[in-house]
A and B are shown apart, each in its own frame.
Chain A
């Protein structure tokens, strides 16, 4: 069964610290992996998208890595800010799906950045 599992479920860090969120998936065949940031009560916003041939992609203080062999991805946040407090969702796109884009969503990691 195609699944996306994220860890930890929640995380509290101090402002200015770095953190790493994990995503493991069993989706096969695999096409792409995305990370989204979702503020409470808002729609998700895309941070990065990587195809199976990419190992890393950065977006400002956010850096995503992908190991397609072990089916793992991580999202590293550098020098965290209070505004980074949000849920971070890992989303995997299977190689099939066409126009439906049958993305498979993780349940997210809830990050709280404290002053």
Chain B
């Protein structure tokens, strides 16, 4: 089965600083990859999804961007963080004919 690695696990960044969260997937090829944000008391919100290298779709307008430079690598970035970017970010993967979505361990971002 797929294994998803996310890092860093936690980070505290000042407002206006850049961001890079990285996600890599093992155990599959050509997966669909997703970035979600989970705010306290709210359901997961889909931020970006990708069906292949350099193929990124954005679900909501925001201060973040995503890139997929390799088949099993998905990166979430920002040039200048806002306080509202704080939250729990989850990378997820769906591969092959399976319908299960696998999630990484998440990255806690606090913007101060």
Seen from chain A, the residues whose Cβ lies within 8 Å of a Cβ on chain B are 4, 32, 34, 36, 41-46, 49, 89, 93, 99-108
Contact = CB atoms under 8 A, between A and B. Distances in A.
Interface stretch (B11-19, B65-73, B75-83, B103-111): B103-111
A43 B103 contact: yes
A34 to B, nearest CB: 8
B99 A99 contact: no
7 contacts: A44-B44, A44-B90, A89-B44, A99-B32, A100-B57, A101-B49, A101-B101
A3 to B, nearest CB: 10
A4 B42 CA distance: 11
B84 interface: no
B46 interface: yes
Contacts of B99: 32, 49, 93
A108 B38 CA distance: 11
B41 interface: yes
B100 A46 contact: yes
A42 B103 CA distance: 9
Contacts of B100: 34, 46, 49
Q: Which of A45, A102, A105 has the most CB of B within 10 A?
A: A105
Contacts of B42: 107
Contacts of A102: 46
B62 to A, nearest CB: 17
Interface string B27-64: 00000101000000111111001010000010100000
Nearest to B92: A43
Nearest to A44: B103
A46 B102 contact: yes
B43 A107 contact: yes
A36 B42 CA distance: 15
Contact of A43 (B32, B41, B43, B104): B104
